[in-house]
Amino acid sequence: MKKRLLSLLLVLLVSQSLLLVPPALADEKTQMLKYSYMFFGTFDTAISIIGYAPSREAFDKAAALAEAEFNRLHKLYNQYYPYEGINNIYALNYGAAKEPMHVPEDLFKLLAWCKEQQRQTRGRVNIALGAVLSLWHDERDNAELNPDKARLPDRAALEKANAHTDINDLILDEARQTVFYADPLLKLDVGAVAKGYATELVARQLLNSDVSSFIINAGGNVRTGYPPLDGRSSWGIGIQDPDADLVLPAGNDVMDVLYLSDLSLVTSGDYQRYYVVGDKRYHHLISPDTLMPADFMRSVTIITQDSGLADLLSTAVFLMPFEEGYEFVTSLEGVEAFWILNDRSIRMTPGAQAVSYNQGYRP
């Protein structure tokens, strides 16, 4: 969802970045000190990087390269704005039904990966659902500007749009690296995966730099590098209480802390992007089955190494009833999950329990 006001970004920065439980400064004998860097303007959120480096100069260099990469990928995956000289998602949605369009390699790889992964997510995450999601997006935008006129998308319009969401109408030519829409009313929306996918590309860049011990927080999409250089084996990441308006230091707004290294953690929940119609909240995670926001749970957090996969799976599992989601996650190798259900009870897979502060883990 687009954010028009800097104040919204600042609130998001505070609410998300304080979920991190940062380590103490490294012992001076290591000659590696902890530094931090944050920036705005990419993927509609604030992004922070905390890491260890031999000097401020080395850290700033790596952080600047990370910011530049986030900026590049933000433009490439953006579906709301055009950028001169770039065939991005916006350009595809307005031109790829007319003729095949050549796209940069990182965009082509994302689209090919998402098309393949749709089957793996049991159809829950479909980047071709853009025509439906754009109707919800427009109503959320309208509600931000005119809260007293907030309304749901027209049901007939949703069903009409849903007739143009077949992923098989997305034609990818690997040899030519082109994209073509066989349905002229097809629209792509990569919001369920783009930020995590970009975060993973940046993380791999950092792992090969002088700042390989790091934690990236991209608006709640968290990717950890090698362990913090303070003697601990992992980084601590708080799981937000979905009923907390704002995460504050020493508050009761973190449900648990999970400790990770060289892994990603991504949460999908009903409490960040929503609008109100009457007395009911409608969040942004739309079921392809009902074309309405799913209401199986308050949030689900996915833990796995690849941040793009974690982003994709967090959406997919949020759109599944708990029992189906638990069976689905436990069938996947190297994937764990943490649920907060509608009654505020917590469920975890065994691997998540093993790194949970509330379950007794200490790094």
Q: What is the pLDDT of residues 185-201, one digit of tens each?
A: 999 999 999 999 999 99
Task: For residue 36, give Cα distances in angstroms to 50, 100, 172.
Answer: 4, 43, 40
What is 45-64 written as a DSSP string?
Answer: EEEEEEEEESSHHHHHHHHH
Q: For residue 16, is pLDDT > 50?
A: no
Residue 252: predicted pLDDT: 66
Given a cut of 80, is residue 304 above it in pLDDT?
yes
Question: Is the CA virtual torsion 1, 275, 273, 325 positive or negative?
Answer: negative
- pLDDT confidence bin for 20, thresholds 50/70/90: very low
Length, in residues, of the chain: 363
Q: What is the pLDDT of residue 2?
A: 33
Beta-strand pair 254-260/264-269:
unpaired
SS3 324: helix
pLDDT at residue number 31: 82
Residue 25: which pLDDT band, with cuts at 50, 70 and 90?
Answer: very low
Contact 39, 192 (CB under 8 A): no
DSSP state of 83: B
Residue 361 pLDDT? 95
Q: Which CATH number fits domain 89-181: 2.60.120.10, 3.30.2130.10, 1.10.3980.10, 3.30.830.10?
A: 1.10.3980.10
Task: Flag whether pLDDT at 21 surpasses 70.
Answer: no
Residue 266 confidence (pLDDT): 98
The mean pLDDT of 287-298, rounded to a whole number, is 97
31 vs 339, residue with greater confidence? 339
Return the structure tokens found at 327: 């069976």
On the question of pLDDT at 345 being above 50, the answer is yes
Q: Can you give the pLDDT at residue 246?
A: 54
The whole-number pLDDT of residue 1 equals 35
Residue 165 neighbours by CB under 8 Å, 6+ apart: 126, 128, 129, 130, 131, 132, 186, 288
Domain boundaries, the chain: 89-181
- The two tokens of residue 193 are 């995966």
Which percentage of the chain shows pLDDT scores above 90? 85
Global pTM value: 0.90
Q: How confident is the model at residue 245 (pLDDT cuts 50, 70, 90)?
A: low
| Helix (H) or strand (E) segment spanning residue 346 | strand 346-348
Q: Within 10 Å of residue 251's Cβ, how many Cβ atoms?
A: 11
Lowest-confidence pick of 6-20, 28-42, 64-78: 6-20
pLDDT at 22: 43
Percent of the chain with pLDDT strictly greater than 70: 90
Mean predicted confidence (pLDDT) in 214-218:
97
Q: Quick one: tokens of 42?
A: 């990419």
